[in-house]
Amino acid sequence: MMDASKYKPGYYPVSSEYNKWVLKDHIEKPPTWCSVDMRDGNQALVIPMSLEEKLEYFQVLLDVGFKEIEVGFPAASGTEYEFLRTLIEKNMIPDDVTVQVLTQAREHIIRKTFEACEGAPSAIVHFYNSTSVAQREQVFRKSKDEVKKIATDGAKLVKKLASEYDGNFRFEYSPESFTGTEPEYALEVCNEVLDILEPSTDNKVIINLPVTVEMSLPHVYASQVEYMSENLKYRDNVVLSLHPHNDRGTGVADTELALLAGADRVEGTLFGNGERTGNVDLITVAMNMYSHGVDPGLDFSDINRLVEKYVKCTRMHVYERAPYAGSLVFAAFSGSHQDAIAKGMKYRTENNLHQWTCPYLPIDPADIGRTYDADVIRVNSQSGKGGIGYLLEQSYGYVLPPKMREHFSYKCKDISDHAQKELKPDEINEIFEKNYLNLKGDIEVRDFEISTEVDGTIAQLTIVKDGEEILMSANGNGGLNAINNALRAITKAEYSLEVYSQHSMETDGSRSVGASYIGIQDTDGNVFWGAGTDTDVMRANINALLSAYTNMCRGDK
């Protein structure tokens, strides 16, 4: 039995006056994005990336559009040091991109960091020390003043070294474990750091508020951020940054609410990679903005390529249900969902809509490079007629009448159920062709001629039955009716033609192809279906009629 009494709410709420963010209903503009994939993401890998993999992944981040990228902790390992030197010495950092380096607020580590940054065209030196109650009491065993001195000493040193080394430097300070720190103490430390760094319009300082470990509900963090935003010194020249982790599974919510509360910048990773349950997933945050009509300034139009590169370089796996990027996130197996999506897509086409309102799809999958046949409508034993019919139409051009579509869907679902697998579009088409299309039975219409007389239509046919060629003539109120009467006469079959529909398919060279669908009903009320195609519309009708008749002979109702 679990004992919840060993835990208590581990957060530090602020006054209720800092909840003005509640009145906002959406994020109006994107923040400055900083990828920390090369640091937080890389340090959490079972096998950290090699230099070559880091260089490849760095290019991926540039392609997405990141302008600030934390490239590592150069004083922590030879690989990270070499990576930064490679970027600088080979001029691999674009003019509009700033690399960021992480360092503890310790003298020898800061000095090693500046050595690694020598000659950087644009670099953010991100120094930090933990300020939380737990760290002060259990790890450092230092007083508030002693812990604050670590931060201020670090600030003095980075400011001094920035003037001594060749490079263009900016500063970022993090009171690590901010969510485990008394807000008034975190504010005190940050303000004293700012007094030393002297932010200006031309050299703004980043104050980063890490959710190093999620400890509270997201709204508590948002109010803490609003408190900091309204009480930091030099606020106009301070970039207020977020660095949420995902221990409670609410990293995205932390980020979104904190942006409403006044934050300007977000640090995170692609796909939420990072220590424990990971960092906030920047893809989700950015695409959530996109789904509300805000251009995030990051390009995720080819999400499959990002997944491929991420898996290759990190050896990690993107969960199938990961928002936006997962392989199944747009997939609809449910029959009712498929039907609604199919009707929604048809409605968009009929009304030439620009605004996206399709049921069950929060964004257009095509915006991130996903396709409807492979990613949206997916067929298994739970699927319905709407989705299966939609797939057949979109992929192969067949527009089945409603009752035939229902009959076909049950056939597909039964095959999927027995095989215990999903059916792909080509398999669905194969099932359709095998069971309905241009079927060959024991009777064939070799030739025909249709003529119109005063008293109706006459069909003259050459029919082959059981190997014998028979000339046949029959009347009707139309060509198909006359041919059907001839078929009934020669076969002695008792049925009625109940359903008929026909349409043109995409052109085959200079000739269009007609598709015909027919349902015939026997004396017991059973309906049998057939489909036919041909460049000649009447031949397509004959093929459909004979296919339905063949299914009746087989008893395939």
User: CA-to-CA distance for 90 and 397, rounded, in angstroms?
Assistant: 53
User: CA-to-CA distance for 464 and 466, rounded, in angstroms?
Assistant: 7
What does the block give as tokens for 233? 């010194």
Q: Do 226 and 262 contact (CB within 8 A), yes or no?
A: yes
Residue 116 CA from chain centroid, whole number: 37
Residue 78: C-alpha distances to residues 75, 87, 115, 126, 233 (Å): 8, 14, 13, 19, 38
Cβ partners under 8 Å of residue 116, min gap 6: 74, 75, 81, 84, 85, 101
User: CA-to-CA distance for 294 and 490, rounded, in angstroms?
Assistant: 68
Cβ partners under 8 Å of residue 230, min gap 6: 18, 262
Burial class of residue 406 in the structure, from the number of CB atoms within 10 Å of its CB (0-12 exposed, 13-18 middle, 19+ buried) = middle
Q: Do 228 and 207 contact (CB within 8 A), yes or no?
A: yes
Residue of 233, 277, 235 lying closest to 252 (CA atoms) = 277
Residue of 486, 481, 474 lying closest to 518 (CA atoms) = 481
User: CA-to-CA distance for 467 and 235, rounded, in angstroms?
Assistant: 93
Q: Do 548 and 520 contact (CB within 8 A), yes or no?
A: yes
In degrees rounded to 5, what are phi and psi of residue 294? -110, 120
Using the 8-state DSSP alphabet, how is residue 48 labeled? P
Q: Do 300 and 64 contact (CB within 8 A), yes or no?
A: yes
**Distance linking the first and last C-alpha atoms of the chain:** 56
At position 121, the amino acid (one-letter code) is: P
Residue 541 marked as a ligand binder: no
User: CA-to-CA distance for 264 and 261, rounded, in angstroms?
Assistant: 10
Residue 26 marked as a ligand binder: no
Residue 418 marked as a ligand binder: no
Q: Classify each residue of 39-51 as buried b or exposed e, where b means 16 or more C-beta atoms within 10 Å of its C-beta.
A: bbbbbbeeebbee
51-64 vs 303-314: helix crossing angle, rounded to 10: 160
User: CA-to-CA distance for 95 and 121, rounded, in angstroms?
Assistant: 8
Q: Do 513 and 455 contact (CB within 8 A), yes or no?
A: no
Residue 292 marked as a ligand binder: no
In DSSP terms, 458 is beta-bridged to 451, 475
Burial class of residue 508 in the structure, from the number of CB atoms within 10 Å of its CB (0-12 exposed, 13-18 middle, 19+ buried) = exposed
Q: Do 265 and 126 contact (CB within 8 A), yes or no?
A: no
SS3 94: coil
Type and span of the H or E element at 411: helix 402-419
Q: Which residues are annotated as a binding site?
A: 40, 243, 245, 279
Q: Can you say which residues are annotated as belonging to the binding site for Mg(2+)?
A: 40, 243, 245, 279
